[in-house]
Every structure is written in structure tokens, then in C-alpha cells.
Structure 1
Amino acid sequence: MELYMDGLSMYEKLDVENADKGWLLRYIGSVYRRQKNYEEALEYYGRAIKIFKRFDDQDGIASCISNIGIVYGYQGKDSLQLQLYQKALKICEENNGYRRASIILDNIGSIYSNNGEFDKAIACYNRASEYLRGLKLRDHSRIARNLTDISYLYIYKKEFEEAISYLQEAQEHLKKTEKKRKLRMKAIYSAYSTIYAEQGNYKKGLEYHKLYVALSDSLADMSHSSEVAQVEFRFRREIEELEIERLRLEQVIEDQKYQYQKYGLLFLFVLLSLVGVVFSQWRKLSLVYKELSSIIENSKEQPDTKGLA
């Protein structure tokens, strides 16, 4: 936060008003949001939006609107949260911001899923998957996660063949990456186990349950799966947001490095420092997420599972 405030002070001293100042205000707003200081967060998001509108930075506007939606979600204002997500999504789609659009669609899908509106949730997850497939750098792990989420919704709807179809596609994507493969396969095995148990094929259901347990290494995690899912969702959303910001800042430096020369090396140093902070936050959250995943996969409690083998 201190570096962000120093950067903001530098902008004001140099009397510089551009879209990058808007992004700095947006970062400050997100720090306040993570600190649960929602009033300050909303104030800085609002200030950022005013600058983004002045310089027609549509990605910045969408980012702030989406983050305001997150704040409203924390405050229990679900209807407002959904409205803002949809508004941000429209901006992203109209400006080819498909990476951010996929994140927003995941968030909207989660809202619909929690409300029992499974068809709407499935539509959102499918759109998010399509956008992810269209990116140059495909995140096969994330696509697999989306497809698995869709399969679970079909399980709730008792449409098991559709669920199996999505699980098979998810497995194909996991063949192309090592990223979180073990975690994703655990969810897939659990889904298969549920499907076959629901269909009365208990032998096959048990086979997949054994595969799930073999990956879990602990039955203790199962009782905490809901809490773990909530924490996992929060971390992965933060990581995805920070990854977008890191890539955007690096591109800004590459595209506008000559513009910054007239403001002196000190100003450029501040900008480079901001990139460093964003990367540091992204790396820190990634390590925490990795540690969380490790805890899930390797619980210290080791109940005897020989009877299930």
C-alpha cells in the first residue's frame, strides 16, 4: 500500500492525469477491499472509473465495475453484485477482453449455481470455457475446472450422460497440462463416483471412489470440502485478476516507454515498482494457493483406508 500511495503522490506532484493513474487508484481500491475496508475501496474504484471514462479505457472500467460487484457480494447485496457483473461482462465482450470476461462469467455462474439456477450457471461456464479456448495461451487446467463444474451441475439435474460427456472432455484437457492435474482429477473421480452410485452401478462407483481416495490420501478432507471450495475460489479469483494486471502493466511499459522519459527516470521507476508489486502479490497468492492445495492433498491425519482397497 505504501508504494501505491507513493506512486499516487508522484502523479499528483507531476500533475499527470492518464489511464495509468486510474489503474493505480484501482489497485489501491483492491488493497482496501482485501482489508475489508469497503467504503475506501468503493471510493478509490469510483475515482478510477472517472479517469478511465475520460481516457476511454474500457478494460479499466470493466475491472472496477467487476470489483465493485465483489464488494457488494461481500456486503450481501447479491442483486447489485449480479447487475454489476453483467455490466462489466458486456463491456469486456464488446472490447474483446475475453480473459477478464471468462473470470466474470465464472463469478456469475457461481451466483446462479448457489441460487439453484443450474441452466443459467451452465450457460455461463460454457461461455467462459469458449473464451478460454480462444486465447493464445490456453489454460487447459482452468478449462478442465470449468467443464468439471458443468458436469456437477448436470449431476444435480440428474442428466448423467451429459455430465459424463463434460468429464471426458475435462480429462482430455488435463492430458495437455501438469498444472493442478491431481486436484482436477480428484474432482473428476468424485463426480464419476457420484454418477455411478446414483445410477445404481455401485461397483463402478466404488472403483472411482477408491481412485478419489488414493489421490486424496485422507478422508478427513471430505468433511471440509465446502469450506475448502470457498477458500480455493477466493484465491484463484485473486490470482487470475492479478495475472491480468501484471500482463497489462508489462504491455504498458513496452508500448509507452518513450512517453515516460519526459517525466524522468524517477517516474519510470515508480511504474516499474508497481509492476514488481503486482508480480509479488501474484506470486505470493500463487504460493499460498499451492500450499492450500498441498494441505488438501496431504492432510496430516491419515485414517486407515485399507478396508476400502
Structure 2
Amino acid sequence: MNNTGIKDNKSINSIDSITNMAFNLRLKSPALTIKYATTAFSLAKKTNYLNGLGEACRVIGIGESYLNNYEKALDKYLEAILYFEQTHNFNAIGKVYNNIGNLYLSSDYDKALEYYTKALQIAKKYQAKPEIARLYVNIGIVEMKKKNFSEALEKFQLSTQLFKEINAPDLIVTCMQNQGEAYNYLKQYQKAETILQEAFTKAQALNLNVTIANINLTLSNVYLNQSKFDKAEKTLTNGFEYARNLDNRDLQNDYNYAFYQLAYKKGDYKTALGYLKQNFSQDSAYYRQSFSKRITLASDLFVQLENRTKNERIIAQQKYATTLFWSSATVAALLAALVCLLIINIKRTNRSNTELTRLNIEVSKQKEHADLLNRYLEEKIDERTKDLKVKNKRLSEYSLHLSHQIRGPIATLKGIVYLQENSMIDQEECIDLIKKCVFNIDEEIISMSKTLNDNHGLNPDKI
């Protein structure tokens, strides 16, 4: 779907593997998350793997956010969007919207909800269950901060079900911690304590240090609300060590404030005041206001980025429209040329058909003439054949008659020759008889020829 910028699948898999490892470390060691994601970014840059660059920036931003470096986190999120925009990876952009919503979570609930909603729409479009589940968690947290606890619990339950389907035990623990916090606000302390203790056990098994610190903080609030000061102090002490090891400034401030509440409720006001001084000599309201200003300034930068992205899209659309126009014009010109060629071809075909029709007519006329000539010749041949038959018949009759007429004189000649051979007749008489027979034969032939010629139109000279 997206142009990654490279074709080396081995490099892609290696970079993605490092980035995933960095992401999975976010709840254990955000510093390691930043370290490994930075390594993945360097590798992706060498191979021009655009999606890898975007995801590495996003994970670095997540690590910075867990260390409360919100300006750095937002810079990385904006950089991630730039890379994802180039590959049209809208699913990944939705993840970044979720991350930006997390930055607003402590200062502007409506703004956070706005980004969560945008991210949820994209996640549902691409049917990304992990992202949908995370967004339900975040939306539930917003609802809880707005004191809509029933809606928050509903979202947490939906998230838990989805996390079970995709087998994400670390995120299930996060949901349990949020549910415990919601039950605490609802003053259902027994439910809250039970689910938080179960979450704590699972978080320890998974070595989720950030989650353990948050669970302990929530659990200490449950104990404080029940005036179980010993349990609260023990839980706070344990959780503060995690917060300090994580170097999480906001989490340490939250623990200092919880220690202040514990000391205040126990009536130890001097100790309570000391915790307030430790909290960076500023109360919670001032800290939230300061953060709000910083995140607002960063938000302005993000708006500018969005506007620039929109302008780039408009320019790209204009270029596309221009290209489409000239492409359409070219296609139209080609179609016009094709139509002209078809018209010319049709005209040529018509002329050819006309010429063929004329030739067919000429051939038909010649055929008729040939037929007439053939019939004439056939008639002549028939006439000649009939005439020849008649002449042949007459010749047969003439031959028969001639042979009959001359047979007698010839027989006489044969008798004279016989007499001469046997010396039964003298020579002079023999000659006279022979002459007489010859003349008789000649007269018979002349007489027969004349008869045949006069009566039957025979020409003896042409027979």
C-alpha cells in the first residue's frame, strides 16, 4: 500500500524489530525506549525506510512523554506525521493522534478527547484492534477526569475485552489500574483495593515499572480515603522508589503530593509543609498552568504543520488536476485522430465497395455476353453436328451404293485375270475386256457422285 522507500525486506524486518522492542520497554524503562528507537531511526535513515523513520520518531516521542519531556515528545510526534504523510500511512497517523491526545490529558480534556476521537475513527476504519483498545482506555481516562465514572468504567471494560482478544497482558494490567482508580472515585474502596492488588501482582510479574508506580499511587489514595495510614505510607514509599528510578518528574511530584496528604491527614503539618516545598516550590495548580502554556505553544506549532500539510495537499491536488487535464486532452486528441482515421477508412471502404460493384456489373455483363456467345456457339455446333450426321449418313449410303455398283465390273476383272493366268484367253481380247470394265467402273463412279451432289448437296471434293 505505502511506499517505504526501500525494497530490502531483511533491513525492514530488522528495523521494525528494534522499534517494537523499544516500544515494549516503555513501561519498564522509557530511557531504553528512547535509546533503541533512536538506533532504529538511524538505521531507517540509512536505507530511506520512511515508515520506519516515522515509527521510530513516534516511539521516541512516547519515551519522552513518559519522562515528562512533553515539548520533545510533541516534536517527535510532528516529525513522525511528516514521514507517515509521505507514505499515506493513515493508520500510523491515527496512532500519533492518540499520542498527542495523551499530551493534552493533564491540561485540556476536551482537546485530548478531540484527538482521541480522530484517532479512533481511523483505527475503526482500518479495524486495528490494539489501537481501538488503547483509545478506549484513554477516552475512559478523560471521562474519569471529567467525573463521568460510569462511562469511564464502560470504556475500560471494552478495552480489557479487546486486550484479551489480542493477548496483551501489559495493557490489561493498565486497564485494571484505571478501573481501580474509577472505583476509588466512586468510593467503592473494596473493589478498588482488590483489583489494584491483582494488577500490582501481574505488573510485578511482567516487570512493568511505570505501571507499578501508578498502581501504588492509586492504591495509596484508596488507603488514604479509608484512613489506613500505615498501608498508605508503605505503598507510597514502595511506589516512590519506582518513580525515582524511572526519573519521572511528574510522577515524583504526584507522590510528593500524596505524601503531603498523608502527613496532613495524620496532623503532622510540619512534615506536610516539607513535602510541599520538595514539590519544586510550586503547588499543583501552578505546575498544571505552566504545563498548559508549554503544551499550548507546542499545539500552535502542530496547527501550523496541519495547515502546511493541507496546503501541500491542495498543491498536489492542483498538480494532479493539471496532469489529469492534459492527460484528458491528449486522450481526446487521440480519440479525435482515431475518429478521423475511421472516417477516412469508411470513405475508402465505400469507394472500394463502389468500384467492386461496378466491376461486378461489368463482370456480369461480360458473363452474359459470354453466355450468349456460348449459346450461339452451342447452336452452331449443334447445327454442324446435325449437318455432319446427315452428311455421314449420305456418305455411308454413297459408299454402299458405290461398292455395290462397282462390285460387278471388279468381279469381271478378276475373272479376266484368272483366264489370262490360265492362258484361256488371248491377250488382245483380254485387253479389250479390261478396258471395257475400267470404263464401266469410271462411269459408275462419276454417275454416283453427280447423283449424290445434285440430290443431297454433297461436295465430293470436300468430303
TM (norm. structure 2) is 0.35
Greater RCO, 1 or 2 (C-alpha within 8 Å, sep 6+)? 1
TM (norm. structure 1) is 0.49
Which structure has the larger Rg over C-alpha atoms? Answer: 2
